[in-house]
């Protein structure tokens, strides 16, 4: 029974390393669907390679199993730390090809070693417990514990391990579990092993290396992120959905990064949020009910609250860690004007697509402030299906406004969003503004009636003026409209177009 328990541990550890590699790749490289898909594919292929190689192990099964366990524990346990460090050492290079090579090489190595484990366990069980189990029963028992281990870690990884231990320490803990299986096998089969002392020293060395990594996890993460972001980190945490980092520069500027992507810089965020909110809000006339989709930092909320006519605001943010952080920390509360404390505000932590599908509430203005469509999970929020839902929730005189990436750097992406809005029968009014942290940035107003320029704006704005609004709607030749296909849930062409355009800039 103890050997079957080891199968549970082996399976749990193997899947954990796969999930850790996929999560880290999605944080550092973007496009979570692509990264998880390729990591899982390489890992499953490696399992097959390992299973095939196990047939060549004919003697010293227990000794081989013990060595494989130690290697899996060492390589798999240290893989998140190694990849984290490698990315931060290589991110200044011309491309991320060396990092990708290392990523898939480590996934291939761990997968191959894990693929060797289960066949070895079966053969050890068959050799030592032949009288107890027939072959069919043995295979059934081993696979049952294998799948149970995989299920346990699949549930625990996003809900318990990642939020509470972090990625590096989680890898180390499971590496120690592999080492514990090796130590147990050493004790159980000590009578038939050669060089017991050498195996014991190897176990101690692996455990020592992993314990050292556990102790250094926080310092390593801090060093790597300090080097990557180049500023003092005032908050860093892994939520259930993303890596959240807030930095503070020497000049006092505060920046928010989600999965290494800049979301705002306090030195110029007012330009972005004034441009996002006020052309739609002021044009509506006297907006009362507002929905903000995304925008968990409260900056768009701050601008919406400048309108006395507003009676109720529903802010829908997927990640509760974001709005909790910006409602709690004094520095961040000052940035958003303590907007979350307003009695007019209701926060809903759920997926915006699901939320729109689930009720029939109508709004005068809908502010859509999602991250760029860098993966399919975000891309669905830029589709005809999503904008049709937005249309259903707009009042007859209402306006929706969408942040829409850079019309200069990602020209086709920008006009793809415009084409998508128009494909659901809404009138699209594209415009742009210069935000130094991002460069030239684009927005689209969607409505059933033509957008009309407002005659006044709230007092105290730092960027927008009534006289300056017409200039935002003018697109020079290098940003003017190009042919673009509507982004549909069934094809998500925008994600590929976005990756192509921004990929040329990053690489």
Active site residues per annotation: 369
**Interstrand relation of 312-316 and 289-294 (parallel, antiparallel or unpaired):** parallel
Cβ 303 vs Cβ 454: under 8 Å: no
Cβ 408 vs Cβ 421: under 8 Å: no
Cβ 247 vs Cβ 229: under 8 Å: yes
Whole-angstrom distance, CA of residue 258 vs CA of residue 236: 10
Q: Considering only CA atoms, which of 189, 81, 174, 180 is closest in space to residue 128?
A: 189
Residue 367, H or E segment:
strand 363-369
Tokens matching residue 166: 């972090």
Whole-angstrom distance, CA of residue 382 vs CA of residue 378: 7
According to DSSP, residue 260 is labeled: T
Order the strands of the 312-316 sheet from edge to edge.
345-348, 312-316, 289-294, 363-369, 394-403, 439-447, 427-435
Residue 261: φ, ψ to 5°: -100, 130
DSSP string, 360-414: ---EEEEEEEPPP--SHHHHGGGSHHHHHHHHHTEEEEEEEEEE---TTTSHHHH
Cβ 403 vs Cβ 276: under 8 Å: yes
């Amino acid at each position: 029974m103890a050997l079957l328990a080891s199968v549970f541990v082996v399976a749990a550890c193997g899947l954990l390393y796969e999930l850790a590699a996929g999560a880290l790749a999605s944080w550092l490289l973007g496009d979570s669907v692509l990264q998880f898909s390729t990591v899982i594919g390489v890992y499953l292929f490696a399992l097959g390679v390992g299973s095939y190689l196990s047939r060549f192990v004919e003697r010293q099964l227990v000794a081989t199993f013990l060595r494989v366990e130690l290697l899996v524990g060492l390589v798999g346990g240290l893989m998140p730390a190694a990849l984290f460090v490698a990315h931060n050492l290589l991110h200044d290079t011309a491309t991320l090809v060396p990092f990708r090579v290392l990523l898939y090489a480590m996934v291939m190595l761990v997968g191959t070693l894990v693929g060797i484990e289960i066949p070895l366990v079966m053969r050890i069980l068959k050799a030592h417990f032949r009288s107890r189990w027939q072959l069919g029963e043995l295979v059934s028992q081993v696979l049952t514990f294998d799948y149970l281990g995989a299920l346990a870690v699949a549930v625990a990884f996003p809900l318990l391990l990642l939020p509470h231990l972090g990625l590096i320490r989680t890898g180390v803990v499971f590496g120690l579990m592999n080492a514990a299986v090796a130590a147990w096998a050493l004790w159980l089969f000590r009578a038939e092993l050669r060089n017991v002392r050498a195996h014991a020293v190897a176990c101690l060395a692996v455990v020592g290396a992993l314990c050292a990594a556990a102790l250094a996890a926080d310092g390593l993460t801090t060093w790597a992120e300090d080097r990557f972001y180049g500023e003092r980190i005032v908050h860093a945490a892994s939520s259930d959905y993303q890596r959240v980092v807030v930095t503070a520069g020497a000049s006092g500027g505060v920046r928010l990064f989600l999965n290494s992507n800049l979301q705002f810089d306090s030195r110029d965020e007012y330009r972005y949020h004034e441009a996002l909110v006020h052309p739609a809000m002021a044009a509506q006339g006297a907006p009362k009910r507002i929905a903000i989709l995304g925008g968990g930092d409260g900056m768009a909320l701050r601008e919406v609250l400048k309108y006395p006519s507003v009676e109720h605001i529903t802010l829908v943010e997927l990640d509760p860690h974001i709005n909790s952080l910006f409602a709690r920390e004094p520095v961040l509360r000052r940035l958003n004007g303590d907007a979350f404390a307003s009695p007019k505000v209701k926060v809903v932590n759920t997926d915006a697509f699901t939320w729109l599908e689930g009720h029939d509430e109508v709004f005068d203005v809908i502010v859509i402030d999602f991250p760029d469509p860098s993966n399919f999970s975000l891309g669905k929020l830029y589709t005809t299906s999503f904008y049709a839902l937005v249309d259903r929730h707009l009042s007859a005189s209402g306006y929706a406004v969408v942040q829409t990436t850079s019309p200069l750097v990602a020209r086709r992406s920008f006009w793809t969003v415009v084409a998508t809005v128009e494909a659901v029968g809404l009138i699209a009014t594209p415009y742009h503004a210069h935000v130094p942290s991002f460069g030239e940035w684009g927005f689209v107003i969607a409505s059933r009636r033509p957008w009309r320029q407002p005659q006044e704006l709230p007092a105290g704005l730092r960027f927008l003026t009534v006289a300056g609004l017409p200039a935002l709607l003018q697109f020079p030749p290098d940003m003017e409209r190009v042919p673009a296909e509507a982004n549909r849930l069934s094809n998500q062409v925008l994600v590929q177009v976005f990756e192509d355009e921004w990929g040329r800039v990053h690489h």
